Structure 1
Amino acid sequence: MVKNNKGFTLIEMLIVLFIISVLLILTIPNVIKHNSFVDDTGCEAYVDLVQSQVQLYKLEVGSYPSELDELVDDYIPSATCPDESELLLNNGRVTVANED
């Protein structure tokens, strides 16, 4: 009778599963920890985008918009950041409402 030695043993499979679980345990907390960083960066990027759209509006119309709602739909999707922070417009400068 010929033995078939192809394949993995139960011990080898358990070792591989252990290594994968250790890697997941190490990486998941790091990913979760950086969620606030991603939200802050996303808001900063959105402020830059809205600021450029305010400048485009000024080039097309000749003056700054009086409020950001004038830009919604035609220039920007909304007047809030992805993290729901409200944006303000003051003399053509866009800022976040709850900035410290």
Structure 2
Amino acid sequence: MFKKSINNQKGFTLVEMMIVLLVITIILLVALPNVTNHSSTINEKGCKAYVQMLRGQVEAYRMENNVTPSVEDLKKYIKSDELVCPNGNVIEIDSKGNVTERKE
């Protein structure tokens, strides 16, 4: 009885494994170009969100100190020394506190 159960073992054949690998490869070939095309859109949306966050920081500083902040004044509120978006564009804050994105 024990010998009979060993002979009845089932597993994947080489052909079945090759078919599974082929299907996975096709899925990856279809999915990867779509993901890489969306990275620029993601960077643009991230930049817009970053600008909005900085506008909020400017307003918070203005409300707290009754003065329009410069970039130097905001150093304690933001982590980076240079204001750069994920897409590489530079963020500027003018003397009136307007936050703008300068495209390069």
Residue from 83, 87, 98 that aligns with 1:93: 98
CA distance in 1 between partners of 2:66 and 2:73 (Å) = 14
State the SS of the aligned residue for 1:87. Answer: strand
Separation in 1, partners of 2:38, 2:77: 30
Structure exhibiting the larger radius of gyration computed from Cα positions: 2
- CA-atom RMSD, angstroms? 1.7
Measure how far apart 1:19 and its partner are.
0.4
Tell me which residue corresponds to 2:11.
7
CA–CA distance in structure 2, aligned partners of residues 69 and 80 of structure 1: 15
Q: For this pair of structures, how many residues does the alignment match?
A: 97
Unaligned runs of 5+ in 1: none
Please state which structure has a larger fraction of its residues in helix.
Answer: 2
User: Among residues 54, 60, 66, which one is paired with 1:56 in the alignment?
Assistant: 60
Are 1:76 and 2:78 counterparts? yes
Structure 2 unaligned regions, length at least 5: none
Partner of 1:33: 37
1:43-80 CA-to-partner distances (Å, cap 9, x unmatched) read: 11100110000001001110111x223212x1112322
